[in-house]
Amino acid sequence: MPPPSALIGQPPLTDSDYWIVRSFLLNLGMLDKMDPKNGFPSPVKRPAPGEHHQSLQGKFIASIVVCMAFMLIPTIVRLALRCRTANMRLGWDDIFVVLGCFFGLSFQILNIFRVALGKSGAHMYDLTYWNLYINLAVGGGSALIIWFWCIVAVKMSILFFYMRLNGFASRKWKIVLWTLFAAMVAYIVSATLVVALHCDHPRSFFDLRYKGHLEKEPKCLDLPKVVVGLNVIEILFDASLMVVPVVMLWKVQMKWTTKLRVYIAGMVGCLNIAIAVGRTLMNFSQQKAVDFSWYSYTATQWAQAELTLGVITASLPVLSNLITIALRSLSHRRNKDQLDRAAAKYRGYVFNQDAARKNRRATHPLDYSDTVDGEFEISRTTTRSSNTDVSAFARGGLSEKGPDGLHVVEIGEASSSAGSSS
């Protein structure tokens, strides 16, 4: 449960409220004109009693849950394919996409705290001083740093996937890829340090109550403009990751399906660049927004979209193997059906042959003789003779059963009787 706190625009209710109000007046240079005990005026006019208070908190939570699902499911499927498919193995690209997913989920969890404890998505007049403190401490500080970590981890995952394909390319491309990796490492280190240490009192950026105890306003960089500059560098990284595979694999002899998967991921990367540009322009236009808790919903939506699409883009070349597996399974099933039909046709042929033999045995019983095992043996003698009628020879040559239980054909008697008759 949040501690008791007064609404923005009302006098402070606790000591914590007092120091938060003092930090705002110190930041605006109005400490000598206004007394913190009277509170900090709300920058947005409170609606009249009985009027509806707008809030985007429900939509905020719903978007967070959806984005978490779209980051988590592709990552799990990717790892399952790597572990269960025979011709695949885990690599650094999988490790970095897991890190990117972890930082992305951490960013979303912090946003949940912002909505639940800081009332992000509501207007400023509905916030208490404690809500404002949580909003700035979590959203303005920790969430921003984790967002940069997630973005860079996803880009490194894509870069290491290109290094897997570098075995088909030349040594020059290997140098290019490692140069991009070094630039990304320098970028994330610089971004973390700039955001965390952009004031001469670094703690004042994360803790408004600490800032309220200071006698003078801390000297800080213009963080919104710094963030816009970092976003521009990030867009350049996206453009590089989109162009590199097209140029690197253009003349390389490899499966066209592999090239197609990489090119599709590059086209999705174009959409990611468009989102990054839109988010940067939005952040630049809202630098002076006074109702920042309300506009934080829009800013977070753009950030969530970029993170989610980045994680999906990093996993697309691996997830596209599901199409290959599905086509292979379909082909195997089709071949199996053909074999089953051929086997059924053969069984029908054998059945028809057996039926024909049984029919001949029933219509020509003299042409078959029973054996000991219940089988049938043809005992017709088909000796060609110009002076002998074959059917009469066979009928005349049948005799009683011999000692072994089989019908015995007396060839001599049959031939002599045939000769006398002639």
Q: What is the DSSP string of 300-344?
A: HHHHHHHHHHHHHHHHHHHHTHHHHHHHHHHHHHHHHHHHHHHHH
Specify whether 231 is located in the same domain as 306. Answer: yes
**Residue 279 is assigned to a structural domain of this protein:** yes
Specify whether 348 is located in the same domain as 369. Answer: no
Choose among 208, 237, 89: nearest CA to 139.
208
Specify whether 79 is located in the same domain as 228. Answer: yes
Across-strand partners of 199? 220
**Residue 49 is assigned to a structural domain of this protein:** no
Q: Indicate the residue among 316, 349, 375 that finishes a domain.
A: 316
Return phi, psi of residue 76, to 5°: -65, -45
pLDDT digits (tens, 9 = 90+) for 112-146: 988 888 888 888 888 889 988 888 887 777 888 99
Specify whether 210 is located in the same domain as 285. Answer: yes
Specify whether 355 is located in the same domain as 403. Answer: no
Across-strand partners of 370? 376
**Residue 8 is assigned to a structural domain of this protein:** no
**Residue 48 is assigned to a structural domain of this protein:** no
DSSP 289: -
Per residue of the chain (422 residues), give pLDDT as tens: 678 888 888 899 999 899 998 988 888 778 888 888 888 887 777 777 777 778 888 899 999 999 999 999 989 988 888 887 767 778 888 899 999 999 999 999 999 988 888 888 888 888 889 988 888 887 777 888 999 999 999 999 988 888 877 655 567 878 888 999 999 999 999 999 998 888 888 888 888 888 888 888 888 888 888 888 898 998 999 888 888 777 776 665 666 666 666 667 667 777 888 888 888 887 777 766 677 788 888 888 888 988 998 898 888 877 766 666 655 666 656 666 666 666 666 566 555 666 666 666 666 555 544 444 444 444 444 444 444 444 443 444 444 444 444 444 443 443 344 344 43
**Residue 202 is assigned to a structural domain of this protein:** yes
Specify whether 106 is located in the same domain as 65. Answer: yes
**Residue 102 is assigned to a structural domain of this protein:** yes
Specify whether 408 is located in the same domain as 299. Answer: no
**Residue 384 is assigned to a structural domain of this protein:** yes
Choose among 151, 142, 103, 149: nearest CA to 307.
151
**Residue 9 is assigned to a structural domain of this protein:** no
Specify whether 391 is located in the same domain as 420. Answer: yes
Specify whether 154 is located in the same domain as 108. Answer: yes
Helix (H) or strand (E) holding 78: helix 57-84
Domain range spanning residue 391?
Answer: 365-422
Specify whether 222 is located in the same domain as 195. Answer: yes
Specify whether 402 is located in the same domain as 334. Answer: no
Q: Indicate the residue among 316, 340, 373 that finishes a domain.
A: 316
Specify whether 272 is located in the same domain as 235. Answer: yes
Helix (H) or strand (E) holding 409: strand 407-409
Q: Provide the number of structural domains found in the chain.
A: 3
Q: Indicate the residue among 278, 297, 316 that finishes a domain.
A: 316
Read off the CATH number of the domain in which 122 is found: 1.20.1070
Return phi, psi of residue 373, to 5°: -85, 5
Within 10 angstroms of residue 341's Cβ, the number of other Cβ atoms is 10
pTM above 0.75, yes or no: no
What is the residue type of 8? I
